[in-house]
Amino acid sequence: MGRWVYLNGKLVEAENAKISVFDHGLLYGDGVFEGIRAYNKKIFKLDEHVDRLYNSAKIIMLDIPISKEEFKRAIIETCKANNIVNGYIRPIVTRGVGTLGLSPWNCSNPSVIVIADTIQLYPKEMYENGLEVVTVATRRNLPEAVNPMIKSLNYLNNILAKIEGKIAGVEEVIMLNQEGYVAECSGDNIFIIKGGKIFTPPIVVGALPGITQATVAEIAEKEGLPVIEKFFSRAEMYIADEVFLTGTAAEIVPVVKIDGRVIGDGKPGKITKVLIDKFNKYVVEHGTPIE
């Protein structure tokens, strides 16, 4: 059975899922997207992801032509068509076909797309042994320029950081904001643990509000480990007891070395392991059924 993609109200075979070269999503990165996980035939945090998609669209004045409920149904139907049990879902809304000029007002019909497939972000051994990361020179976009709260199709800021990581020989990188505080990674949120307390950068530092990030904070709270939003520097990461990253695709991945500095004892930390175990159980038990 072939793969199916939801495109503007219909399920079409993947090889026939095409949009115009004049779509402003292609010409200018003018659009928004989400990344959603499915576990055991359940879509994890579907409501939260769809809400964030619509929030991103509202910020850039992009009117999504279907309701939230219709979008959720499109996501579920795409998963069913592709027999998704454990997978990754990519809803996308582009500005639509327009002229070669910048004006979004010339784009009358946004394109609505849902792709359901599989993904593995990091090799399995990195979850077991931990990840090495580096800080890159590319700074996170200024919130006053392109606000990171917008999960937009223009991901060049993140891609440039990812390129630096590739050159340095690592899978993920840390991005600072213009003031030199830790913002986030190229595709993940970051947490540090010091003295039994868990810290993560606030949104105002230039980070996307992560749904996995919020889930991990909720789990930590239940374990008696409140997560504190805090500005912190690279130096504070180096002397942390534990560091870990979170993301829809990444889930929770331990970090054992940053910029050549060994974190803690150089192995995934005890609190991180507890959170990974609790998270793995949480995602299986929660979600919107694919039916």
Question: What distance in Å separates the CA atoms of residue 18 and residue 113, rounded to the nearest whole number?
Answer: 10
- 13: number of Cβ within 10 Å: 10
Question: What distance in Å separates the CA atoms of residue 43 and residue 86, rounded to the nearest whole number?
Answer: 9
- 252: number of Cβ within 10 Å: 25
Amino acid at 184: E
- Print burial letters for 15-49: b (CB count within 10 Å at least 16), e (below 16): eebebeeebbbbbbebbbbbbbbbbebbbbbbeeb
Bridge-based pairing of strands 197-200 and 227-229 is parallel
80 is catalytic: no
- Whether the Cβ atoms of residue 255 and residue 130 lie closer than 8 Å to each other: yes
- 166: number of Cβ within 10 Å: 11
Active-site entry in 45, 72, 151, 162: 151
How far is C-alpha 65 from the geometric centre of its chain's CA atoms?
A: 24
Structure tokens at 147: 């606000």
Where do runs of H (alpha helix) occur along the chain?
Answer: 24-28, 46-59, 68-81, 124-129, 156-168, 211-222, 234-238, 270-285
How far is C-alpha 248 from the geometric centre of its chain's CA atoms?
A: 5
- Whether the Cβ atoms of residue 128 and residue 97 lie closer than 8 Å to each other: no
> Under DSSP, is residue 7 helix (H, G, I), strand (E, B) or coil?
strand
Catalytic positions are: 151
